[in-house]
Structure 1
Amino acid sequence: MLRSLRTAAAASIVGAATAVPAGAEPPSFSNNRADENWGALREPANRTGAAWEALKFMPLDTAGGSFLTIGADLRLRFESYADNFDAAKPNETYGWSRVMPYADLRLGPNLRFFGQMLGAWTDRSALTKGPVDETGVELLQGFAEASAPVGSGELSVRGGRQMVAYGSERLIGLRFGPNVPLSFDGARARLELGGWTADAFAYRPVENALGDFDDRSDRTRKVYGLYATRALPELAPKSGLDLYWIGYGREDARFDSSVGNERRHTFGARFFGSLDDWSWNHEAMLQLGTFGDEKILAWSVATDTRYTFSAVPLQPFVELKANVISGDGGPGGRLGTFNALFPKGKYFGEIGLIGPANLVNLHPAIGVSLGSGWSLTGAAVFYWRQSLDDGVYGNPGNLIRPSGGSRARYVGTQAEVVLGWEATPNVTLETSYALFEPGRFLSETGPGKTVHFVGGEIQFRY
């Protein structure tokens, strides 16, 4: 979701183990509730007196070293599309409903059990309803985590079903914007030592089905790797560096050139931070591997730079995102189409039509804080094909328009405006309007009507 005053310098590795440092304040609500540790409410001075705080810290011993936290997210959302350029998607207005209750049990500083349920439903047409729209009642997260000191640092191990996000979710994200978030089955080991936080992980994504309690590990896909983050306070107080390797396997993958088994390795680095009124989030990725009998050589460079006029009324900001994401050079030789693996939902904005593959795009945005929790943002996105021999892909990596022999490069123009209101820390509302004007490539290869989108939601969490 596009939030008006969200910093570009998103945290890298979140959800560190169990202990709360002395003097820590209670956390803010997060999209992944497993990342929150409410142990700071052990100190009466950290409590505001809100009624819901009694549910965030329920001590199980006199010292409060063991405690239980319970909470929930509830969201109602509607979306409406008119004149979709994808011929398989008719004009449609539908609603989403989602509830995600959770419980977090912490037994001392070194042992934790976390569980979260998901109920997700839609009134969308059976012709268009998919796994991101409805999954009934399911286990969204259920894991155990143990930690132990290692020298001056800490080692933690987590196993079970869990939501996972790394960096700014360009490669592994929560898929929070659609109705059904993404979770994984697997394990993670995390070492925090010497200024570094490093994860080793192995997961299979959860494959969502429409019925109750029928989601299972996807046996056709797997992801594993190493992800490390180091804070760089000597450069800027809130800056850091990510270094990572992510392995990925998928059976019967489909790209514009052909279908085959995919084995891919992504090597990347991300530099992020903020200083005074500037914030930035820049990332470079290289992918190697095999696709059927072909070699893979793909890449992406993504930049996000923002300046906030903090001394000006309404604190306006200007932001520019720019991406170059490789495409394929045609059948034979090697596959050049970049695979974003498991990216965040609605990658390029609320309308969510185009995904991060075979693109060059510019994404300027402006926004203001209107006071009393209100914010307003506007953005435009300009899309070109990086390779004229490859097609256009959707957010999950599905091919939505083959190249069709077209030599046109321009894909289309997108514009959106989002009005948000944080009524209280527990209640947020948002409404948005967006349009997508197809460019020459889409007009030459299929339906080329202008797409209109309207969305709105209300979310309550405690």
Structure 2
Amino acid sequence: MLRRVVCSLAIAGMAQASLASTSLAQDFYHPPTQANFEQVFEQETDQELLRPINFEYPEIAPASAETFCAPDPFSGVPDPCDGCLPVAGGCDSIECEDEGWCSVLCSDKSVLDCLKGNEIGPFTYSAGGALRYRYLSERNRLRPPLNGRYSSYDQWRLTPFLELKMGDDFTARVEAIDASTFNEELPPLPIDVNRTDLLQYFVDVKLLDSGTGEKLRVKAGRQLLLYGSQHLVSPLAWANTYRNFEGVKLYYTSDAWNIDGFATRPVNGASGNINRPLSYDTPDQSRTFSGVYSTYKNAPNGVLDLYWLWLDEDDDNPSLIDGDRHTFGSRYAGAVPINDECGDLWMTLGWDYEGAIQTGSDVVGPGPARDVLAGFVSTRTGLTFNTMPWTPTLDGVFFWGSGDSDPDDGTINTVSTLFPLGHAYWGQIDNLDGQNLLDYSVQLTVNPSKKLNCQAQWHWFDKDKREDAIWNVAGAPFGGIVATESRHIGTELDLVATYKVNSNLTLQGGYFWFFYGDAVTENPNPQVADRGNAESYYFFADWKF
């Protein structure tokens, strides 16, 4: 009882937490911003981006810099294979009896390690890549075609790259992709197939360096974009094809700030462009995506993001939420330690709060363009029980994405979530987008070992406005923009386990169930209503070389 009373008082005095603990809280809870995304992408590789965002609040311990293990920026789980001191049960404890495939799987060295960081005069070059195999089975998802019910399929994705660097001053990178889907019963989606194409090609040049930590850089070419929590801008690494853009980005970094300004065009089918699964992707000339995204890294116990994003679609599609939209938003994310009466870490309180408003004009449904006034709010609050076995984290999550109650008035209130990682937020079965949506969720994450991470999520989904559509994960109105008597879309249960064999090989499997509510089962469109509950399961292996 004394322990609980004292630690309750400690909550009220969280602002007095040590500077070291505050710094760790910032590092733990903030996924990589675009300013440092390429470094994270290069070091952690895309296998880290494949995982659902668990938003754990890991242990904040008064460890020295020499013994602190940097966490995976997406799961938050400290990686024993990431260059820190030997950890019991970590990679250093594994021994192989031969030099064959066992040694390849056990080693944290890439198979092509000999091609990393080789010098040619003032330059260094590196070559490598990643290979992913995934099997999926799905039934009764809210996906096209409307009468589609069941499909299982196999997917391969190969992403080799070649990179040339001159210290910190210049980087050139070319990365290809070959994404294939086969043995499917239903037609592949734009996120499933992209054969023999270029995922990225860019140059990154340092323009200014103050010598005191302030740098200004420019990056031009085809590239991936990732900002903040990925509610609005994500490379969509969960998909088989990624999502890419082409354009220019000017970005500033300092000890206190990361500030990016960018102007791009979407490239592949996953970014909303014309889908070209078997031919070369070219930028969408009718659509531009630009903005300014800033991160203040010295906010109390965390980080503060401020952003403006502008999506401008000249060829407006009345069946989609696109048009000319400006999104103004902010996000505050962080974590603080809660110590017991002896000063030892007991729990960690973490949070991630984000909101935005959207203005502009759009054409949705029949009729002319209308003004846009929409928005969203996302909140996540959780506790990590640092002293308990498996270090469980319990999260409470709420999301509101505005819908439109009157399609005949002069204003569109349905929010656009732009280019999100919907898989991580609105149910991992991938039924829904964040448009016209209310999501109440409870999530539990445990770490049975340093390498094994398990998560369970439960969601309750309602339409924000019953007069608006059920918008599926692709941002399309499933069954049309029709009113329903009930707002209840359904409930979902997700189970996911991720095992990181080493820094190069990740295994993951998941099983998802969606129990449809009356907004689906009594939908006026019989092709929507005539379906049983949905379920899906998958397994993937992702290998970096």
The TM-score normalised by the length of structure 2 is 0.74
Name the structure with the higher strand share.
1
Query: In the alignment, which residue of structure 1 is the partner of 2:312?
Result: 249
Partner Cα distance (2:532, 2:199) in 1: 38
Query: In the alignment, which residue of structure 2 is the partner of 1:173?
Result: 234
Query: In the alignment, which residue of structure 2 is the partner of 1:409?
Result: 487
Q: Give a deviation string over 1:343-380, Cα, whole Å, max 9, x none.
A: 11524233111111001111211121111512221111
Query: In the alignment, which residue of structure 2 is the partner of 1:297?
Result: 373
Give, in angstroms, the shift of residue 429 of structure 1. 0.9
Please say if 1:315 is aligned against 2:391.
yes
Query: In the alignment, which residue of structure 1 is the partner of 2:420?
Result: 343
Query: In the alignment, which residue of structure 1 is the partner of 2:521?
Result: 443
1:56-205 to structure 2, matched below 5 A, reads 57-60=116-119, 66-85=123-142, 87-123=146-182, 125=184, 127-151=186-210, 152=212, 153-193=214-254, 195-205=256-266
Query: What is the number of equivalent residue pairs in this alignment?
Result: 434
- Kept after mapping to 2: 8 A contact 1:8/1:306: no
Partner Cα distance (2:379, 2:114) in 1: 40
1:205-354 to structure 2, matched below 5 A, reads 205-208=266-269, 209-232=275-298, 235-236=300-301, 239-254=302-317, 262-276=323-337, 277-292=348-363, 293-329=369-405, 330-346=407-423, 347-354=425-432
The TM-score normalised by the length of structure 1 is 0.87
Give, in angstroms, the shift of residue 84 of structure 1. 3.4
Query: In the alignment, which residue of structure 2 is the partner of 1:23?
Result: none
Q: Give a deviation string over 1:16-59, Cα, whole Å, max 9, x none.
A: 788x9xxxxx94445589xx9xxxxxx9x9xx995438346423
Name the structure with the higher helix share.
2
SS of the equivalent of 1:433 reads strand
- Kept after mapping to 1: 8 A contact 2:320/2:476: no
Q: Which amino acid aligns with 1:128?
A: P
Query: In the alignment, which residue of structure 1 is the partner of 2:535?
Result: 452
Give, in angstroms, the shift of residue 192 of structure 1. 2.0
- Kept after mapping to 2: 8 A contact 1:55/1:70: no
Q: Give a deviation string over 1:248-305, Cα, whole Å, max 9, x none.
A: 11245456xx679710000000101222212221101100001143100000000122
Gaps of 5+ in 1: 1-5, 21-25, 37-42
Q: Give a deviation string over 1:368-399, Cα, whole Å, max 9, x none.
A: 11115122211111101111210111223111
CA, structure 1 residues 135+189, in 2 after alignment: closer, same or farther (shift >3 Å)? same
CA, structure 1 residues 351+56, in 2 after alignment: closer, same or farther (shift >3 Å)? farther
SS of the equivalent of 1:441 reads helix
SS of the equivalent of 1:200 reads strand
SS of the equivalent of 1:283 reads strand
Indicate the percent of aligned positions where both proteins have the same amino acid: 23
Partner Cα distance (2:277, 2:483) in 1: 41
CA, structure 1 residues 259+166, in 2 after alignment: closer, same or farther (shift >3 Å)? closer
SS of the equivalent of 1:400 reads coil
Query: In the alignment, which residue of structure 2 is the partner of 1:369?
Result: 447
Q: Which amino acid aligns with 2:372?
A: I
Q: Give a deviation string over 1:91-114, Cα, whole Å, max 9, x none.
A: 111111101111221113211101
- Kept after mapping to 2: 8 A contact 1:9/1:280: no
- Kept after mapping to 2: 8 A contact 1:376/1:419: yes
Partner Cα distance (2:189, 2:536) in 1: 19
CA, structure 1 residues 224+413, in 2 after alignment: closer, same or farther (shift >3 Å)? same
1:426-441 to structure 2, matched below 5 A, reads 426-441=504-519
- Kept after mapping to 2: 8 A contact 1:300/1:326: yes
- Report the structure number with the largest CA radius of gyration: 2
CA, structure 1 residues 249+55, in 2 after alignment: closer, same or farther (shift >3 Å)? farther
Give, in angstroms, the shift of residue 116 of structure 1. 0.7
Q: Which amino acid aligns with 1:449?
A: G
Partner Cα distance (1:31, 1:160) in 2: 23
Give, in angstroms, the shift of residue 211 of structure 1. 4.3
Q: Which amino acid aligns with 2:240?
A: N
Partner Cα distance (1:202, 1:50) in 2: 37
Q: Give a deviation string over 1:226-265, Cα, whole Å, max 9, x none.
A: 11111026x22xx11111101111245456xx67971000
Give, in angstroms, the shift of residue 403 of structure 1. 4.7
CA, structure 1 residues 17+394, in 2 after alignment: closer, same or farther (shift >3 Å)? closer
The alignment's C-alpha RMSD in Å is 2.8
- Kept after mapping to 1: 8 A contact 2:374/2:412: yes
Q: Give a deviation string over 1:63-93, Cα, whole Å, max 9, x none.
A: xx63222221111101111233553323111
Q: Which amino acid aligns with 1:281?
A: D
Give, in angstroms, the shift of residue 122 of structure 1. 0.3
SS of the equivalent of 1:60 reads strand
Structure 2 counterpart of 1:12, from 12, 33, 36: 33
Gaps of 5+ in 2: 1-26, 50-72, 74-82, 86-91, 93-106, 270-274, 338-347, 364-368, 524-528
